[in-house]
Amino acid sequence: MSTLTDDEVTESESLPPTKRQRQAARLAEHASIGVRALLVKILLLGIVDAIAVWALFILVMKEQWVIGAIVLVVTLLANWIYFSPGKLPAKYLTPGVIFLVVFQIFVIVYTGYIGFTNYSTGHNSDKEQAVSALISSAQERVPDSPTYGVTVVENLEGLGVLVTDPDGDVSVGKPDSPLEPVRNATMDGGKAVAADGYTSLSFQQILTRQNEISSLSVPFSDDPNDGSLRTPDGQTGYLYTSSLVYDQAADTMTDTATGTVYTDQGTGAFTSADGEEMLPGWRINVGFDNFTRAFSEESIRDPLVNVIIWTIVFALISVASTFFLGLFLAIVFNDMRMKGRKFYRVLMILPYAFPAFLSALVWSGMLSESFGFVNQVVLGGAEIPWLTDPFLAKVSILMVNLWLGFPYMFLVCTGALQSIPDDVLEAAKMDGAKPWAIFRLIKLPLLLVSLAPLLISSFAFNFNNFNLIYMLTGGGPRDPLAGVNVGATDILISMVYKVAFTGQARDYGLASAFSIIIFIIVATISIIAFRRTKMLEELN
């Protein structure tokens, strides 16, 4: 197969370029002329365009100008590429590039961006929303105040409320004029529903003006301490006082009970003079703060360093152990003298066939101290704390990962071994080399040339082998005296998960910073390793 292609290439290269060009032109025309293909193209592009226009419509409605512009440009570009003749490389590359940008680059850039913000519990949105949330939760109902019947009314000056108090007295008020008694109101079931000079709003009308009504606040009297009447559902009203006052001009929050003034000091929350923060705050850019914290705050740094060391050890030992076991088995099963090789090979693949996620879960059950299969059946009732002793837990993780990982190595080693030409080995044998020397000096270097990139990617995979850690030990066992939520077997990625997604105090910013650190470590190790691999190829 491969020789055939080579021949073709040499043949066409030896011919004059004009013929090749003509051939290519003919081919291209042939390809573009197929009516059915063209129809399929039209249909597909039509679908893409329809979706794009639909998306654009929604985006414009929601005033998402930037994303809308991007969608528009990308759609026009795609149409231009596919409707104009030629541009063959672009035609092949466009879908891939779009998916790459959406699913990879955007995610990476966004993670990077979060790593430089204070996005965490209490710093979840922007300042405007933080202010409105603070104001809304500062509304406190006046103690022992009654429930008022309310009808939302309107006159030329705007919305107001028609209020019936529990005694049946009716009054009317507007945001800028306190409640005053009304006579001759139309009553319905003990509640005033209409008054002269005002139009009453129906429930449907209320629904179309919900924002205005939910922010409608009518002072009860001239004294602001009496509170103001608000109606959460448009039918009943209550008196509220606010314990917080926002001064827009000075950009400060004042606690009316204590008189404390909270100002925006650029830390993403209103902060009092003695450093007390008012939550919710908002998201701000904090520069390299998260990275500085990771390496300077003692409670984060010490576990982080331990976790980095264990992560590297875990990934290296996992790759080495699975590789050597896989290689050993591949050599054994590659020997013609071995009987029933097919049967054994199928058996070898079994661990690979189960989802690793599930296997880890099953193993965690089997390694349980007093109920697990390993202790109960295999070891005859021994109570070995496989997963609860810090050292044994690490050993267990490595063993289970060996069990999960060697079939893959076995597969690739078998393939690579079979591609080593027999004559090389024959020649070595003729020169009097012993089997160990043949393996060490010939087979292994030849194998490594093709397997080294796989070993590096396997390292990167194990570096982030979240499933195994999470399902087997959950990062535990934890030291009850340690004072941080990091266990003996936590690797970087499971630590990131704990920082970002467990508990109530989540810190997405710090977790993203950790992700960037992981990326830097894996990238550095991979680059160094690939350089080495190149040297190996040159040796060959």
Partner 1 sequence: MKVKTRSILTAGALATTAALVLAGCAGGADDSGDAAATSTLTVWVDAERVDALKDAAAAYQDKTGVEVDLVSKDVAKIKDDFIQQAPTGKGPDIVMGAHDWLGELVTNGVVAPIELSDKEGDFLEVAYKAATYDGNQYLLPYAVENLALLRNADLVPEAASSFDDMIAKGTAAGVELPFVVEQGAEGNPYHLYPFQTAFGAPVFGSNEGGYDATDLQLGNAGGEQFAQWLAAQGVAGTLSTEITGDIAKEKFTAGQAAFWLTGPWNVGAAVDAGINVEVDVIASPGPEAAQPFAGVKGFLLSETSKNKVAANDFLVNYLATEDVQTALYESGNILPALAASAEAASSDPIVGGFAAVGAEAVPMPAVPAMGSVWQFWGIAEAAIIDGADPVTIWQKLATDVQGAIG
Q: In the window 228-247, what residues touch partner 1 (CB under 8 A)?
A: 231-236, 238
**Phi, psi angle pair for 161, to nearest 5°:** -125, 140
Between residue 366 and residue 385, which ones bind partner 1 under the rule CB under 8 A? 368-371
Of 211, 225, 258, 540, the one binding partner 1 by CB under 8 A: 211
Q: Does 526 bind partner 1 (CB under 8 A)?
A: no
The H or E element containing residue 425 is helix 422-430
Q: Are 272 and 179 in contact (CB under 8 A)?
A: no
Of 15, 51, 107, 309, the one binding partner 1 by CB under 8 A: 51
Would you state the torsion angle of the CA atoms of residues 331, 337, 342, 348, taken in this order, to the nearest 10 degrees? Answer: -40
- Report how many residues bind partner 1 under the rule CB under 8 A: 74
Q: Look at phi and psi of residue 264 and say left if phi exceeds 0, alpha if psi is from -120 to 50, else beta.
A: beta
If one counts every other C-beta atom within 10 angstroms of the C-beta of residue 423, the result is 8
Q: How far is the CB of 527 from partner 1 (least distance, A)?
A: 34
Q: Does 141 bind partner 1 (CB under 8 A)?
A: yes
Q: How far is the CB of 216 from partner 1 (least distance, A)?
A: 10
Q: Does 357 bind partner 1 (CB under 8 A)?
A: no
The residue among 336 and 481 lying less far from partner 1, judged by its C-beta, is 481
Between residue 380 and residue 409, which ones bind partner 1 under the rule CB under 8 A? 387-388
Of 186, 200, 214, 263, the one binding partner 1 by CB under 8 A: 214
The residue among 82 and 461 lying less far from partner 1, judged by its C-beta, is 82
The residue among 127 and 345 lying less far from partner 1, judged by its C-beta, is 127
Between residue 440 and residue 469, which ones bind partner 1 under the rule CB under 8 A? none
The residue among 11 and 128 lying less far from partner 1, judged by its C-beta, is 128
Of 319, 314, 308, the residue nearest 473 (C-alpha): 314
Of 476, 497, 526, 533, the one binding partner 1 by CB under 8 A: 476
Binding range to partner 1, per CB under 8 A, among 136-144, 253-261, 329-337, 422-430: 136-144
Q: Does 481 bind partner 1 (CB under 8 A)?
A: yes
Token readout for 43 is: 């249909």
Report d(CA 250, CA 270) in Å as an integer.
12
The residue among 41 and 345 lying less far from partner 1, judged by its C-beta, is 41
The residue among 295 and 501 lying less far from partner 1, judged by its C-beta, is 501
Of 21, 23, 104, 121, the one binding partner 1 by CB under 8 A: 121
Between residue 59 and residue 98, which ones bind partner 1 under the rule CB under 8 A? 61, 79, 83
Q: Are 115 and 513 in contact (CB under 8 A)?
A: yes
Q: Does 293 bind partner 1 (CB under 8 A)?
A: no
Token readout for 298 is: 């003692």
Q: Does 505 bind partner 1 (CB under 8 A)?
A: yes
- What Cα–Cα distance (Å) separates residue 45 from each residue in 54, 79, 518? 14, 7, 40
The residue among 175 and 474 lying less far from partner 1, judged by its C-beta, is 474
Of 451, 374, 461, 378, the residue nearest 417 (C-alpha): 451
Report d(CA 19, CA 397) in Å as an integer.
62
Any idea how long the chain is? Answer: 540
The residue among 6 and 276 lying less far from partner 1, judged by its C-beta, is 276
Q: How far is the CB of 214 from partner 1 (least distance, A)?
A: 4
Q: How far is the CB of 244 from partner 1 (least distance, A)?
A: 12
Radius of gyration of the chain (CA): 36
Q: Does 38 bind partner 1 (CB under 8 A)?
A: yes
Report d(CA 244, CA 255) in Å as an integer.
5
Long-range contacts of 340-349 (CB under 8 A, 24+ apart): 345/414, 348/406, 348/407, 348/410, 349/407, 349/410, 349/411
If one counts every other C-beta atom within 10 angstroms of the C-beta of residue 362, the result is 14
The residue among 21 and 370 lying less far from partner 1, judged by its C-beta, is 370
Q: Does 54 bind partner 1 (CB under 8 A)?
A: yes
- What Cα–Cα distance (Å) separates residue 176 from each residue in 220, 222, 224, 242, 303? 11, 10, 12, 17, 59
Of 8, 25, 28, 46, the one binding partner 1 by CB under 8 A: 46
Name the DSSP letter for residue 124. -
- What Cα–Cα distance (Å) separates residue 191 from each residue in 150, 187, 227, 275? 8, 5, 22, 49
Between residue 258 and residue 287, which ones bind partner 1 under the rule CB under 8 A? 279-280
The residue among 279 and 441 lying less far from partner 1, judged by its C-beta, is 279
- Written as one letter, the residue type at 189 is G
Of 199, 208, 418, 419, the one binding partner 1 by CB under 8 A: 208
Of 24, 47, 98, 100, the one binding partner 1 by CB under 8 A: 47
Token readout for 123 is: 């710093």
Q: How far is the CB of 344 from partner 1 (least distance, A)?
A: 34
